[in-house]
Amino acid sequence: MRHRKAGVKLNRTSSHAKAMFRNMVTSLFKHERIQTTDAKAKELRIWADHMITLAKRGDLHARRQALSIIREKDVVHKLFEEAPERFGSVSGGYTRIIKLGRRQGDAAPVSLIELTASEKIRKKKEKKKENKTDKKQAAEETEEKAEKKEAVEDQTDTETETPSSAEDQQS
């Protein structure tokens, strides 16, 4: 009987399952979304939520606990930098599972698990996009103004040259 045994077995030894979920949670935080089977995605959500909770806490002990699971230091650093501002105001629901259908080879149900973005992050990204488009528009406007100036200067140059050439013809 599996009374009070948390987590799914997935037909693996405990060491294999632990290693697999360590790799999966590292990949999830590195790429922000991964594709896997439904059962693995549901279990991975638990691991990811725990890591984000540690990252929100942000102290040295939490960082060391996260490093004991996520074995890449740069991924842990990225997580601890982004998590407080990305997930600071919410207390759960850090991941989203989207069912994709069945896998071609063995017809296993496949899902996409991804990290959700908070409203602040979305607004910042939208502002960055707006700023980029504003900068592009400003650059285009300055180019147009410069072209108009050059055209006006060319016209004034040709007008000043025309009378002098007419004087040359008369003499």
Q: What's the rounded mean pLDDT across residues 40-58?
A: 96
- The token pair that represents 92 in the structure block: 């759960």
Each residue's pLDDT tens digit, 17-38: 999 999 999 999 999 999 999 9
Count of CB atoms situated within 10 Å of the CB of 100: 13
Which residues pair with residue 103 across a beta bridge? none
Give the confidence band of 40 by pLDDT, cuts at 50, 70, 90: very high
Closest CA to 108 of 26, 25, 10, 3: 10
Rounded Cα distance between 28 and 78, Å, is 12
Each residue's pLDDT tens digit, 110-165: 999 999 986 655 566 667 767 777 777 777 777 777 777 777 777 766 666 555 55
CB 42 within 8 A of CB 34: no
What pLDDT sits at residue 12?
Answer: 95
Class of the domain covering 14-117? alpha beta
1 vs 170, higher pLDDT: 1
Q: What's the rounded mean pLDDT across residues 94-112?
A: 97
The pTM for the full model equals: 0.68
Rounded Cα distance between 138 and 22, Å, is 48
> Strand runs (DSSP E) across the chain, as ranges?
33-37, 95-102, 109-115
Rounded Cα distance between 126 and 66, Å, is 31
In the sheet that holds 109-115, the strands lie side by side as 33-37, 109-115, 95-102
